[in-house]
Chains A and B, each alone.
Chain A
């Protein structure tokens, strides 16, 4: 296997959790809800996913546990930010603090345990093709799931009534409410979906990326996923490109260390975070004036009767 192919493969692996978490957050934000708890939901997904797979030996059950854990935390956020109209920024921060603490509590006995990593697809003939074989036909189930999810989201948002209602609630909740839609219910469902995706993204880290659990192993990926949604200007298609770019930066860091460039390893480790800042500035600068964010993003909505 050539180095080039190895790098491409590792970029896909590094991009998948970002893509999963960001696509869930994209749906929540299109409904007008800014959930800053992605990091917490990912971490709890990572630890619960690992616990599930460790107890049952099944990757699928592990993934399911991760999703359920993410949805549970998201439900707490929905109760606070939608049910009680709490400031979304503050509630999201609370969720990350709580999720990090809970994950540490649940994960403490699991540190040092091992599981079998998620199996990769194997199609005789196709997977053996040079260069593209492993890239297209040799990934684990999460990768295909993430891409399928992205296509589904793009279709639902652009082509279906469900997508139209979701966008209406995110752009103008007062009008959507006046038309008879239940803004709170739509937003809650969107937030729960986001939680499930974040949980799955976290589970990917422990089930496929590294088959073990370490405290704080999301290492800011939840926050990078949030930045990705801005980077993609809330469009699913651009999310794929963004995830690949961020994945590439984090992989570059590993390979640069292997090549032994005379650069401190800490500088290379800081690259994904610095890149996020640079990209945020560039993207926001280009779009200064004509904003493409959902119009009601981050605002609470309490109908006057």
Chain B
């Protein structure tokens, strides 16, 4: 018997709607087995990851705080992936955005530069992220170098630059030699939406990004171009769409959003620059983008779900003594199932008996 794929004559709408839910259900089943194998009570463990985070106000706020950068980055990545441009270096663009914006905060530390500081930091973060993303895009368009590998290599470079800055020139002189900058002044910090919580104004920017991307994709010529270049490159050429320019555009947008997300992290929840400002948001956003079916509104939902696994992971560390890496395992399995279920939209699976022996040709 062998597994064979059979192309459906039409995309299955029912499965397209059900596939993210099916993927989540399959992930839960798999995690039940994994937890049982690790000697945990599966029901208790699943509850820690997927139910407890929803039961108290603090966790709900934390979900919003964690979902914000994930959604913002994933929305940009979705534009890229739809256009068949593979930016997987969002983590690096996030770090560079955080560095650029923080530079302003560090330079004006102690002085009172006025109300322009925060907008300037946001702008610097977005521009730096876009510029950093344009490096792999230009390498791709001008020289044909793989944007996947170049954007990924630049993640390591950005991490080392951040490390150098906070250990060297930008280190807080009064910081007891800890690798961190001084706490940002209040003029360089994002205002809170709810006093006394960690819920900051960055959430609003994330919602704006979601709305803007939804309009761009669904209602504008540029959005149409992205969809055509991604799904039917030949048709796009006949229509006169320039695929190279689209690579540059989508990379710049996704880089700007990742850079903005990075700046919001340091000017919001963290409040200073330090070597580890992101628990891999730039990589996890890839999962969020696919789980949200590369659709801005879907990404909003999937971002909240994936953020929940982060919070659940933190609680599982304390309650169940499970290592933080468990979160990565859950997210990896989830991404596999999401992709597998998406395949069912285009194909149906049949079992067929093998008629000939594998690997035997007529030669």
Which residues of A does B touch, CB under 8 Å?
36, 76, 80, 83-87, 89-91, 93-95, 97-105, 108, 161, 165, 179-182, 185-186, 215, 219-220, 223, 226-227, 230, 264, 266-267, 269-270, 273-274, 276-277, 280-281, 283-285, 287-288, 302, 304-305
Contacts and interface: CB of A to CB of B under 8 A. Distances in A.
Contact of B333 (A98, A179, A219): A98
Contacts of B361: 165, 179-181
B329 A102 contact: yes
B359 A85 contact: no
Interface string B309-339: 0000000000000011111111111011001
A104 B324 contact: yes
Interface centre among A76, A99, A105, A230 (most CB of B within 10 A): A105
A76 B329 CA distance: 14
B339 A273 contact: no
Interface in B137-166: 139, 143-146, 148-150, 152-154, 156-157, 160-161, 163-164
Interface string B239-283: 000000000000000000000000000000000000000000001
A274 B362 contact: no
Contacts of A182: 356, 358-360
Given A101-B329, A281-B139, A227 B168 contact: no
Contacts of A227: 146, 149, 153
Interface in B340-362: 340, 342-343, 346-347, 349, 356, 358-362
Across the A-B interface, give the 6 residue pairs with the lowest CB-CB distance, nearest first: A101-B328, A98-B332, A104-B325, A101-B329, A266-B164, A94-B335
A273 B335 CA distance: 27
B34 to A, nearest CB: 9
B287 interface: yes
B144 A288 contact: yes
B286 interface: yes
A90 B290 contact: yes
Nearest to A102: B329
B88 interface: yes
A15 B146 CA distance: 22
19 contacts: A76-B336, A89-B148, A91-B339, A93-B286, A97-B286, A98-B332, A101-B332, A102-B328, A105-B325, A180-B356, A181-B361, A182-B356, A220-B152, A264-B168, A266-B161, A270-B161, A276-B153, A280-B145, A280-B150
Interface in B68-106: 86, 88
B3 interface: yes
A90 to B, nearest CB: 5
B275 to A, nearest CB: 11
A273 B359 CA distance: 40
Contacts of A95: 332
B152 A223 contact: yes
Contacts of B360: 180, 182
A192 to B, nearest CB: 14
A186 B359 contact: yes
A193 to B, nearest CB: 14
Tell me what chain B mostly uses at the interface: helix, strand, loop, or mixed.
helix
Given A86-B342, A180-B356, 7 more contacts: A84-B343, A90-B335, A94-B336, A99-B332, A264-B168, A273-B156, A274-B157
Interface of B: 3, 5-7, 86, 88, 135, 139, 143-146, 148-150, 152-154, 156-157, 160-161, 163-164, 168, 283, 286-287, 290, 323-333, 335-336, 339-340, 342-343, 346-347, 349, 356, 358-363
Given A180-B360, A276-B149, A108 B144 contact: no
Contacts, number: 164
Nearest to B160: A266
Contacts of A161: 363
B290 A274 contact: no
A95 B340 CA distance: 13
Contacts of B156: 219-220, 270, 273
A108 B38 CA distance: 13
B287 to A, nearest CB: 7
B5 A84 contact: yes
B154 A80 contact: no
B144 A284 contact: yes
B153 A281 contact: no
A288 B356 CA distance: 41
Given A98-B329, A102-B329, A285-B144, A266 B149 contact: no
Contacts of A84: 5, 339-340, 343, 347, 349
A94 B331 CA distance: 9
Given A105-B329, A182-B359, A80 B149 contact: no
Given A93-B88, A285-B143, A288-B144, A101 B340 contact: no
A182 B354 CA distance: 11
B154 A97 contact: no
A93 B335 contact: yes
A80 B339 contact: yes
A36 B148 contact: yes
Contacts of B335: 90, 93-94, 97-98
B139 A270 contact: no
A19 B286 CA distance: 29
A104 B323 contact: yes
A84 B143 CA distance: 33
A277 B153 contact: yes
B160 A270 contact: yes
